[in-house]
C-alpha cells in the first residue's frame, strides 16, 4: 500500500469514527463539509458511507421476520429497530443525493421501504424492496476488492474459534457461553432461512465495522484476507450438506463478485431453475470461487459423474473416455501434493480409478459401476479434505519439489550420460555435440509445448500419456539394442577389432543424428510432465512458500549435477571391458523401467487393457505396476537381454 493510500485510509477511519457518534442529520452534514474541504477524499468517503447504508438495508431484510408476522408486530424491540433503520436509510440517502444527483434514483426505493415497514407489510414485500434498493446502491459503487485466495480452512477455523466462538458457538449456532444474555442474540450462522438473505459482503462489513447497538464489535486487528476468509466460512455453515463440487462451467454462470454482493435467495431467483442449486454448492465450497481454473479434484469428480451418466445411457466408449480423463486431467495432477500427506491414500485412489476403468469397459454392470464410482468419489472427497484442511508445510513443498525433479530428471539424465560416455570412450568427442543438440532441443520444445498447452491449445491428459508412452517405448527399444551391442564389445580384443573395422563407418551422419534423436526423446518425454507437476504444486502453495518449491528444485538440480560429475569423472578411468559391462547393465535397467512406463502410460490413456496382477508389485522407481501387461513387457525385456547374453557367452567359449 502506498503512503498516499495509507493516509487516505487513515483519514477515512477518522471521519467515520466521528460520524458514528453524531446524529444522522449531523453525520450527513459533516460528510458534506469534509468533501468540500478535501475533494480527493470525496469518492472514498461517499463509497464507505454508501456501503454502511447497504449494510443497514440488508440488515432490515434479514431481521424483519423477527419483528412482523402476518401484519402484526411479534417483537416490539425488533420492530422499533426496523422503524429506526428504515428511517435512517431514507434520511441518509436524501442527504447524500442532494450532493450527488446520481444518487437521487435511490430516494424512491428508500421511501418505499420505509412505507412498507411502517405499514407492517408482508415479509416477501419487504425483502423484495431491500434486495432492489441494495442492488441499486451497489451499482453505484466500484467492484469490491477481494483477496486473491482464501486462507486454508484449518487456519480460518482457528481464527473463528479464537475470535468468534465465544458468542457464536463452536459450530456457529449462536450458542456460545458469552452470548447467552446478549440482546439481540448472536447470529446463528447455521440458520438457513437467515443465511438465504445474507450476502457475503454484508458478513464481511459486519466483521470489519461491527454492528451498531449490538455486541458485534469491529475486528480491525484482523487482516483483510482473514476477515474475508471468516466471512466466507460463516457464510458456508448453513449450506454444508456435503462437499459437492460445482460443475466445470460454474464460473460462466456465477462470478465471484455476484456471489459476494448478492444474497443466495436473490441470486437463485436470477438463475435458470436447472442451475439454482449451484448457489448452495458454491456457498458451501467457496474455495472454488477463487480458482482461476477448476481444481483437479473438481475435474476428477465431474468426469466420474459424467462417466456414470454415459454408462447409464449405454455409451461405453464415452464412459471409458471420461473415466480415463478423470484420472489424467484430474487426480494425477494432485498426486504429488497428496503424497506429501498420505502416500497410501494416493496409491489406493490410483488403484480404485484403474479398477473402475476395467469395470466400465464391460456392458451391463450398472450396479458395479455405480458402486465403484461412489467409492471413488468418496475417496476423492477424503483426499480433498486432507489437502483443504491444512496448508502444505514448507518442508513438504520442498520435498515434493525435490522428488519431482529428481524422479523425472534421473531417467533422462542417465540415458544422455550413457550416450556421452560411450562416445568419449570411443574417441568420438566430435559426436558429443549431437547428444547435446538433442537434449537442448527437447528442453526448448518441452517449454514451448507447455506454453502452447496453456495459451493456444488444449492438450488432454490422454494425449500427454500417449506421447509419453510412445517416447518411452521407442527409447526402451533403442536402449535394448544399444545394450546388446555394448555387451558384445566387453572383450577388449573384440573392441579393438571393431574400432579398426567399423566405428568410423557406423558413426556416419545418419547414425549421429539418430543419437541426437534418442537424446531428444529421452529428455522430451520428461520435460512436459515435469513442468505440469510443478505448475500443480505451485497452485497448492501460498505466494510466500514459492521459495520452498524452488529450494527443492535447486536441491534436486544440484544432486543431478553431482551425479553427472561422478559418472563423467570416473567412467573414463574404467577399463574398456568394465566400462561396457557396467554401462550395459545401466542400459538394461533403463530399458526395463521405460518399457514398464510405456505400457502404464498406454493403460492410463485407455489404449491398453489393465489386468490386475494378484501381487501388489507397484514400484515407481522401477516403472513397475501391478498389471499383467506391464510386468509381461518388462519380463520380455529381461528375456531378450538374457538370450543375447547367453549367445554371446557361448560364442566366446
Please tell us whether the domain made up of 39-140 is placed in CATH 1.20.272: no
The answer to whether residue 2 scores a pLDDT higher than 50 is no
Q: Identify which has the larger pLDDT, 30 or 77.
A: 77
For 412-439, the pLDDT digits (tens) are 777 777 777 777 766 677 778 888 888 8
Q: Is 2 left (phi over 0), alpha (psi -120 to 50) or beta?
A: beta
For 35-47, the pLDDT digits (tens) are 333 333 345 677 7
For 448-495, the pLDDT digits (tens) are 766 665 554 444 555 556 666 666 666 667 667 666 655 555 444 454
Angle of helix 224-236 versus helix 200-209 axis, rounded to 10: 130
Mean pLDDT of 102-109: 89
Task: Using pLDDT thresholds of 50, 70 and 90, give the confidence band for residue 5.
Answer: very low
Least confident of 9-23, 255-269, 295-309, 529-543: 9-23
The answer to whether residue 510 scores a pLDDT higher than 60 is no
What CA–CA distances, in Å, run from 261 to 104, 219, 245, 371, 558? Answer: 22, 20, 22, 40, 50
For 532-583, the pLDDT digits (tens) are 667 666 666 666 677 888 888 899 889 888 888 887 777 656 555 565 566 6
Largest CA distance in the chain: 112
Neighbours of 343 (CB within 10 A): 11
Task: Using pLDDT thresholds of 50, 70 and 90, give the confidence band for residue 231.
Answer: very high
The answer to whether residue 248 scores a pLDDT higher than 50 is no
Q: Identify which has the larger pLDDT, 385 or 472.
A: 385
In angstroms, the first-to-last Cα distance of the chain is: 82
In the prediction, which pLDDT does 86 show? 92
Distance CA 599, CA 526 (A): 16
In the prediction, which pLDDT does 529 show? 67
Least confident of 51-55, 207-211, 483-487, 616-620: 483-487
In the prediction, which pLDDT does 175 show? 92
In the prediction, which pLDDT does 543 show? 65
The answer to whether residue 586 scores a pLDDT higher than 50 is yes
Name residues whose C-beta falls within 8 Å of residue 262's C-beta, 6 or more positions apart in sequence.
135, 199, 270
Task: Using pLDDT thresholds of 50, 70 and 90, give the confidence band for residue 395.
Answer: confident
Angle (CA) 205-207-212 rounded to 5° is 75
The answer to whether residue 164 scores a pLDDT higher than 90 is yes
In the prediction, which pLDDT does 514 show? 66
Adjacent-strand bridge partners of 624: 619
Angle (CA) 122-124-130 rounded to 5° is 105
Task: Using pLDDT thresholds of 50, 70 and 90, give the confidence band for residue 496.
Answer: very low
Query: What length is written for the chain?
Result: 653
In the prediction, which pLDDT does 491 show? 47
Q: Which of 44-53, 312-321, 405-414, 538-547 reaches the highest mean pLDDT?
A: 312-321
Question: Residues 556, 401: contact at Cβ < 8 Å?
Answer: yes
**Rounded percentage of the chain residues whose pLDDT exceeds 70:** 70
In the prediction, which pLDDT does 37 show? 39
Task: Using pLDDT thresholds of 50, 70 and 90, give the confidence band for residue 25.
Answer: very low
In the prediction, which pLDDT does 30 show? 40
Angle (CA) 141-146-150 rounded to 5° is 155
DSSP codes joined into one string, 168-186: H-TTSSS--GGGTT-SSPP
Task: Using pLDDT thresholds of 50, 70 and 90, give the confidence band for residue 307.
Answer: confident
Question: Residues 337, 400: contact at Cβ < 8 Å?
Answer: yes
DSSP classification of residue 285? -
Angle of helix 576-604 versus helix 394-425 axis, rounded to 10: 130
Name residues whose C-beta falls within 8 Å of residue 233's C-beta, 6 or more positions apart in sequence.
153, 156, 157, 160, 286
The answer to whether residue 197 scores a pLDDT higher than 70 is yes
Domain 153-178+187-290 - what CATH class?
Answer: mainly alpha
In the prediction, which pLDDT does 483 show? 63
Mean pLDDT of 289-306: 75
In the prediction, which pLDDT does 477 show? 72
Q: Identify which has the larger pLDDT, 366 or 100.
A: 366
Task: Using pLDDT thresholds of 50, 70 and 90, give the confidence band for residue 609.
Answer: confident
For 435-444, the pLDDT digits (tens) are 888 888 888 8
Mean pLDDT of 168-194: 89
In the prediction, which pLDDT does 18 show? 32
Task: Using pLDDT thresholds of 50, 70 and 90, give the confidence band for residue 327.
Answer: confident
| H helix intervals, 390-431 | 394-425
Amino acid at each position: 500500500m502506498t503512503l498516499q493510500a495509507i493516509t487516505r485510509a487513515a483519514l477515512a477511519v477518522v471521519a467515520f469514527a466521528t460520524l458514528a457518534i453524531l446524529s444522522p442529520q449531523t453525520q450527513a452534514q459533516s460528510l458534506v463539509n469534509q468533501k468540500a474541504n478535501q475533494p480527493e477524499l470525496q469518492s472514498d468517503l461517499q463509497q464507505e458511507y454508501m456501503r454502511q447504508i447497504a449494510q443497514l438495508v440488508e440488515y432490515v431484510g434479514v431481521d424483519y421476520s423477527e419483528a412482523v408476522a402476518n401484519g402484526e408486530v411479534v417483537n416490539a424491540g425488533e420492530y422499533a429497530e426496523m422503524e429506526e433503520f428504515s428511517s435512517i436509510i431514507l434520511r441518509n440517502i436524501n442527504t447524500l443525493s442532494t450532493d450527488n444527483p446520481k444518487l437521487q434514483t435511490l430516494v424512491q426505493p428508500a421511501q418505499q421501504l420505509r412505507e412498507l415497514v411502517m405499514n407492517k407489510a408482508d415479509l416477501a414485500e419487504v425483502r423484495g424492496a431491500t434486495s432492489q434498493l441494495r442492488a441499486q446502491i451497489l451499482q453505484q459503487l466500484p467492484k469490491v476488492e477481494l483477496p486473491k485466495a482464501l486462507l486454508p480452512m484449518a487456519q480460518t477455523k482457528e481464527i473463528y474459534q479464537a475470535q468468534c466462538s465465544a458468542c457464536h458457538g463452536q459450530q456457529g449456532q449462536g450458542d456460545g457461553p458469552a452470548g447467552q444474555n446478549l440482546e439481540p442474540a448472536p447470529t446463528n450462522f447455521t440458520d438457513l432461512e437467515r443465511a438465504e438473505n445474507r450476502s457475503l459482503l454484508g458478513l464481511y462489513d459486519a466483521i470489519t465495522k461491527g454492528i451498531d447497538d449490538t455486541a458485534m464489535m469491529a475486528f480491525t486487528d484482523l487482516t483483510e484476507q482473514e476477515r474475508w476468509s471468516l466471512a466466507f466460512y460463516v457464510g458456508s455453515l448453513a449450506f454444508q450438506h456435503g462437499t459437492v463440487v460445482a460443475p466445470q462451467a460454474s464460473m460462466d454462470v456465477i462470478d465471484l463478485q455476484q456471489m459476494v454482493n448478492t444474497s443466495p435467495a436473490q441470486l437463485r431467483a436470477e438463475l435458470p431453475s436447472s442451475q439454482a442449486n449451484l448457489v448452495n454448492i458454491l456457498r458451501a465450497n467457496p474455495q472454488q470461487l477463487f480458482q482461476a481454473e477448476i481444481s483437479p479434484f473438481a475435474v476428477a469428480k465431474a468426469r466420474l459423474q459424467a462417466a456414470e451418466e454415459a454408462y447409464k445411457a449405454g455409451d461405453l466408449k464415452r464412459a471409458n473416455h471420461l473415466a480415463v480423463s478423470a484420472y489424467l486431467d484430474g487426480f494425477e495432477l494432485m498426486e504429488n501434493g497428496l503424497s506429501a500427506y498420505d502416500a497410501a491414500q494416493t496409491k489406493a485412489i490410483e488403484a480404485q480409478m484403474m479398477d473402475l476403468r476395467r469395470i466400465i469397459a464391460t456392458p451391463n454392470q450398472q450396479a458395479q459401476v455405480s458402486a465403484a464410482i461412489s467409492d471413488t468419489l468418496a475417496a476423492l472427497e477424503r483426499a480433498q479434505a486432507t489437502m483443504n484442511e491444512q496448508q502444505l508445510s514448507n518442508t513438504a513443498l520442498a520435498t515434493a519439489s525435490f522428488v519431482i525433479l529428481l524422479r523425472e530428471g534421473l531417467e533422462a539424465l542417465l540415458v544422455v550420460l550413457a550416450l556421452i560416455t560411450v562416445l568419449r570412450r570411443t574417441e568420438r568427442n566430435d559426436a558429443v555435440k549431437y547428444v547435446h543438440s538433442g537434449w537442448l532441443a527437447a528442453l526448448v520444445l518441452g517449454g514451448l509445448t507447455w506454453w502452447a498447452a496453456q495459451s493456444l491449445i488444449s492438450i488432454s491428459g490422454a494425449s500427454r500419456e500417449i506421447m509419453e508412452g510412445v517416447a518411452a517405448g521407442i527409447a526402451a527399444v533403442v536402449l535394448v539394442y544399444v545394450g546388446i551391442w555394448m555387451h558384445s564389445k566387453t572383450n577388449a580384443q573384440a573392441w579393438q577389432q571393431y574400432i579398426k573395422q567399423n566405428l568410423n563407418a557406423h558413426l556416419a551422419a545418419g547414425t549421429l543424428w539418430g543419437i541426437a534423436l534418442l537424446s531428444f526423446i529421452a529428455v522430451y518425454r520428461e520435460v512436459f510432465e515435469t513442468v505440469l507437476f510443478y505448475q500443480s504444486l505451485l497452485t497448492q502453495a501460498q505466494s510466500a512458500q514459492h521459495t520452498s518449491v524452488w529450494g527443492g528444485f535447486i536441491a534436486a538440480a544440484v544432486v543431478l549435477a553431482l551425479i553427472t560429475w561422478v559418472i563423467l569423472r570416473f567412467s573414463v578411468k574404467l577399463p574398456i571391458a568394465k566400462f561396457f559391462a557396467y554401462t550395459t547393465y545401466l542400459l538394461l535397467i533403463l530399458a526395463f523401467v521405460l518399457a514398464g512406463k510405456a505400457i502404464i502410460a498406454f493403460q492410463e490413456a485407455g489404449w491398453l487393457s489393465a489386468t490386475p496382477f494378484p501381487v501388489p508389485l507397484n514400484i515407481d522407481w522401477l516403472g513397475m505396476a501391478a498389471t499383467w501387461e506391464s510386468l509381461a513387457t518388462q519380463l520380455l525385456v529381461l528375456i531378450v537381454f538374457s538370450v543375447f547374453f547367453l549367445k554371446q557367452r557361448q560364442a566366446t567359449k
